Structure 1
Amino acid sequence: MAAPKGFHYYEGVLFYDLLFPVPSLEAVKEFQVREDDVFLATYPKSGTTWTAEILSLIRNSDDIDSIDKVPLLKRVPCIELVNPEENCIPELKLLETMGSPRYIRTHLIKRLLPCEIFTAKPKVVYVARNPKDVLISYYEFKLHPWSWEEYFDNFLKGNVCYGSWFENVEYWWEHRNDDNVLFVFYEDMIRDLKGHVRKIADFLNKPLDEATLNEITRRSSFDVMKENPNANFKAPFGDGLRLLRRGKPGIWKSRLTEAENEAIEKAFSRRMQEIKIEFSFYS
C-alpha cells in the first residue's frame, strides 16, 4: 500500500515524514533505557499532554515554580519525535543528555518501542481513552491528509499515523497488573483529578503533602493548563492547533451518525470484550 504524500510506512505503521523520519524511528529501538526512567505511553489524543504536565509537576514537586518557563516538550520529551522547531534534532538526542530520572513520552506500539524497555523495566504510566472520542479528537488534530469519510475508514482499519488504537491499548492493558505499570483511564482522571495525581505520585514513590497535592491538582486542571503556553503549545503541522482543546468525555455523541457509531461498535466492541476492557461514555 502506498503512503499518502508526506507520509511513509515503517514496519507497516503510518508516520508523518516531517516529525518521524525512518532514522529516528530506527534509533528508538536501540535507545538505552535506564531502570529509573519513567515512560508515559498513550495513543495520540488520549490525555498525553495533560498527564505529562502532571508527571513533570510531581517530578519537581520540591520546587514547582522552577519549571514554569520550561516548555513541556523539554521536560517530558517524545522519544520518537523530530521537532522541526528545534532544527529537526531528534528528541532522543535530548534524552541522552538528561539526568535521571528521565520522564519520556511515546505513542509507539509495543514492537516499535526501545528493546530495553522490556528488560530494564522502567515505570510506565499508560493512559487510555474511549476510542470514539479519540477518533473525533485525532481527526480534528489534522495529522492526516483525508476527508472525514476517508479518515473514519482508515482509523477503523488502523491505517492512521501511529497505527491501530486497539493494538496500542491492548498490550498495556494485558500488562496492567505488572509492578512497573500503572494503567489509568482518561475519563477517570477527569472524574477525580486529585485522586489520580495522588495515585500517580504514589506509583512513582513521590508521596505528596496535602498542600503540594492541591497545588499540582490546580496547575494540572484543564482550565489552567489551557492558558499555559509552555504546556498548551501549538502543533508544528497542519493548522497549528493547540494540543489542549475541549478536554470533555463523550464528544462523539454529538458528532457521529448512528451508522458511524455502529461501524465503530462492529470494529472494536467484540475485541474489547475479549480482553475485558470497558470505557466510560462508550455507549
Structure 2
Amino acid sequence: MFNAEKLEDERQRLATGDFRRGFGLFKGYTMPESFQEIQQAIEDFKVYDDDVWITSFPKCGTTWSQELVWCVLHDLNLETTKEETDLRMPFIEFCCILCPQTFKHSGSRYDPGYLEKSVELARDAKRPRILKTHLPFELLPKQIQTFERKPKIVHVYRNMKDTCVSYFHHQRLLEGFRGDFDLFWKLFITGKLNYTPMTDNILSYWKHRNRDNILFIRFEDMKANIRSVIASVCEFFNKSFLEKDIEKLLEYLSFDVMKNNPYVDKHRVLEYCKAIGVCSNAEGNFIRQGKTGGHKSDMSKDVEDIFDQHLKSKLIGTGLNL
C-alpha cells in the first residue's frame, strides 16, 4: 500500500535533525535512536510495590489521568498539585525523546532542568512514587514484566484515529515534526513513529487486564462520565471521599481549568522547544481540544477506512475497542 523506501526517506528528512539523530526498533517498537542509551537503566530500574505507574500511548489523556490519580492518592488536597506535573510524576524516558546533544548545547534560559535526567528523577522521587511512561509493557522494568514487583498500573487508552490526529499536532509542537498530516498518518499506521505500533503497545497491557494491580481507563469514558471514572479510580486505590470534595475535584479536572493550569500545560517545555528550534507550530498548546471524534476534521473517509481495516485485523478476538 505504501512505498516503504519513500516513507523512510521522508521520515529522515522531516522528523530528524539536531534534536534527533534517527529512530530504532526496540523489541518491535519504534523509539528515538537515543533510547538505547537508557534502555538498560530502565530494564534494571528498581521498582517498589507501592509505586503507581501511569501508562499510555501518547495523547490518550495521560496528563488528565495523572492529575486524577495524584489527587485521589493525596486525599483530594489540591494544594499538593502546585508543582509541575513532570516533577511530581516523573516521565521516566523523557530524556530520550530529544537527542541528549540538544540538552548539552542548547544554552537556553528556558531549560526546565529535568529533561536530561528523567530516569534519575524517577528513581529519586519521593515514595510512594507516581511515575509516567508511554513505553509498551515489553520495555518496562524487568521487575514489572516478571511480576516480581506488583505496583499499581493505571493504563489510559483512546480511539486510534483521534489519537493519531492529536499526536500529529503534538509532534509538530514538541518533537520537531515538519511534515504534513498525509505523511504523518502513513508513518503512524506503519509503525514508524515513537511508541508505535499503537495497537501492539496497548495490547501489551491489555493481555494483563485481569490482574488485580492493573486498571484500564478509556479517554472516551472520561469525557462521557468522569464521575464514574473517578469512582473506579477511588475503588482501585481503596479511597472514598465526601461529595463536596468530589465536586471540587470535578472542577479541578474540567477542561478549561486543565488547559489554563500552569502546572500541567508544559509551558516551560514548550518555551524550551521553541528556543532550541524544535517547535514547528509556535501558536500551538500542549492541551489542545480534549474532545472525542476530532479526527473527522483532519481525516478523509478513505483514510478512516484504512484505519478501520487496520484495527479490524489487529484487534479481532482481543475484546479491545479502539
Q: Which TM-score applies when normalising by structure 1?
A: 0.90
Residue by residue over 1:179-238, the C-alpha shift from the partner in whole angstroms, topping out at 9 and shown as x without a partner, is: 001012100011111221121122122322222222112101111111101111234442
Written as runs of structure 1 = structure 2, the 5 A alignment for 1:78-117 is 78-82=91-95, 84=103, 85=111, 86=113, 88-117=115-144
Which of 164, 169, 173 aligns to 1:135? It is: 164
Structure 1 gap segments, 5+ residues each: none
Which of 206, 212, 228 aligns to 2:239? It is: 206
Aligned to 1:258: 301
Aligned to 1:9: 24
Aligned to 1:125: 154
Which of 225, 237, 240 aligns to 1:192? It is: 225
Measured at CA, do residues 147 and 181 of structure 1 come closer, stay the same or move farther in structure 2, by a change above 3 Å? same
Which of 216, 228, 232 aligns to 2:265? It is: 232
Structure 1 distance, partners of 2:76, 2:255, is: 22
* The structure with more helix, counted as a fraction of residues: 2
Structure 2 distance, partners of 1:87, 1:105, is: 14
For 2:191, the aligned partner's letter is: G
**Contact conserved, 1:110 with 1:168, CA < 8 A, in 2?**
yes
SS in structure 2 of the partner of residue 162 of structure 1: coil
- Could you tell me how far 1:87 is from its partner in structure 2? 5.9
Written as runs of structure 1 = structure 2, the 5 A alignment for 1:126-165 is 126-141=155-170, 142=172, 143=175, 144-165=177-198
Written as runs of structure 1 = structure 2, the 5 A alignment for 1:54-73 is 54-61=68-75, 63-68=77-82, 70-73=83-86
Measured at CA, do residues 66 and 145 of structure 1 come closer, stay the same or move farther in structure 2, by a change above 3 Å? same
Aligned to 1:249: 292
- Could you tell me how far 1:125 is from its partner in structure 2? 0.5
Measured at CA, do residues 87 and 218 of structure 1 come closer, stay the same or move farther in structure 2, by a change above 3 Å? closer
Structure 1 distance, partners of 2:221, 2:195, is: 24
Structure 1 distance, partners of 2:115, 2:92, is: 13
Structure 2 gap segments, 5+ residues each: 1-7, 104-110
Sequence identity percentage:
26
Aligned to 1:181: 214
For 1:126, the aligned partner's letter is: H
**Contact conserved, 2:60 with 2:163, CA < 8 A, in 1?**
yes
Aligned to 1:76: 89
Bigger Rg, structure 1 or 2: 2
For 1:209, the aligned partner's letter is: L
Structure 1 distance, partners of 2:201, 2:76, is: 34
For these two proteins, the number of residue pairs brought into alignment is: 276
Q: What's the C-alpha RMSD, in Å, of the aligned pairs?
A: 2.1
Measured at CA, do residues 261 and 232 of structure 1 come closer, stay the same or move farther in structure 2, by a change above 3 Å? same
Structure 1 distance, partners of 2:76, 2:154, is: 21
Structure 2 distance, partners of 1:168, 1:226, is: 27
